[in-house]
Structure 1
Amino acid sequence: MRAPSAVFEPVATHGRATLVARRISDAIGLGLLVDGERLPSEPQLAGALGVSIATVRDALTILRERELLRTQRGRGGGSFVQAPGEIAVAVLEARLLGTALVDLRDLCDHYGAVAGMAAKLAGERAADDDVGLLRGAIDELEAAGSLAARYRAAARCPVEVAAAAQSAQLTGAVIALQTEVGPLVGLAYRDDDGHREAVRRQRAIADAIADADGERARTTTEEHAGELYRRARDLHREMRSRR
């Protein structure tokens, strides 16, 4: 999977340690960096992110304090990901309930536009290997049983599409949007119907990219974003009615 390379694009100048920590923690939450994965060395991270080694060390300290990383000394040592095992449904429900429906719709519209453009470019640029990686991510989504596994596999699919578009900027934008949209629509994968529908739509996107039909890939992606919004909206209303 090549998508995590976008995690290590240069960051902005303000509050760099916090931004580096957020970039890595978002990638862990989305499953782009998996449990037990070893991060690049501190000098490698500093060079890739365009920050000092001191900033990297501060960021890694933040992540260790949040128990998202563990550090091992000596031969074979380094910083290793400690991904949370499960996703708390109550946390996702609270996040969704705390978001106004107009903001939810706006965010999903934004996500659909960005992910849709990435899919269009992937349809024009993707190689066979890119399609293979995307289909592998979809197979992982289909096989996922728990909400956590479904959530992370679903997040990986659009990132693989963006990587297939061969645009680091778009890949970074999709990752950033996933960290905002994911917690709001994640409950759509809790029931089997929502899970099956997500798999079906992701396969339709992959088929369009494999057929080099960028426009179909774009519209299918936008339709998928719309479906996620409708499911999240209906769940939002249902939870409100129970209060």
Structure 2
Amino acid sequence: MSTIANNIAKVAARIREAAQAVGRDPDTIGLMAVSKTQPAAAIREAHEAGLLDFGENYLQEALEKQAELADLPLVWHFIGPIQSNKTKPIAEHFDWVHSIDRLKIAQRLSNQRPAELPPLNVCLQVNVSHEPSKSGCAPEDAAELARAIAALPRLRLRGLMAIPEPTDDPVEQHAAFARVRQLQEQIGAQLDCLSMGMSQDLEAAIAEGATWVRIGTALFGARTYPAQSDTPPANDQRNNR
């Protein structure tokens, strides 16, 4: 078994054990491999080990890998901050977007989603810890923004995404994820997804209702950042690990 395949098996076991510990069906929790900075060969290897869903933060890097891996039936998730001038290729080349944090971006994605493709699955990113350096709308603005996004014709609002402030304290981890779940329940609107939980805190996220966990380091190992046009933001080392 390859290193990546072995890591996938270990993460899958963690997900299964975390779900069973709180009486959840493990099959209701999706494993998204955060493949930013990873070569296409690593994604191909992960697919051979059974993964279908891959999350990318940097548009140009992602488009290059999508072209190289066009022979595979992969599901592509955009999970990084979105600039207005990059909405069109994101709308054209991704199946999911987890990082919408303002209405302007949502409107552009809806307007630019090709008619021949199904509506784009999207999540509203919430800055649940109120960190000034992190993307995401304020929790108190989420309900109004969610209603506006849900009305856009070429988007399908699925739920919320959050990257709480990192902590090794399980109590604080649970509390942050619980706030996201409670916000989802308050918004309602048939939201069925909670995109939260990374390599270091997936157990707490699953206990609080995560339906997508975004795992990078535990699958691929520590990442390095090559020189590229999509420069990682200052807080990127904390995002989608």
TM-score by length of 1: 0.25
Structure of greater Rg: 1
Name whichever structure is richer in helix by fraction.
1
Task: Give the number of the structure whose residues are more often strand, by fraction.
Answer: 2
Relative CO higher for 1 or 2, CA cutoff 8 Å, sep ≥ 6?
A: 1
TM-score for both structures, normalised by structure 2: 0.25
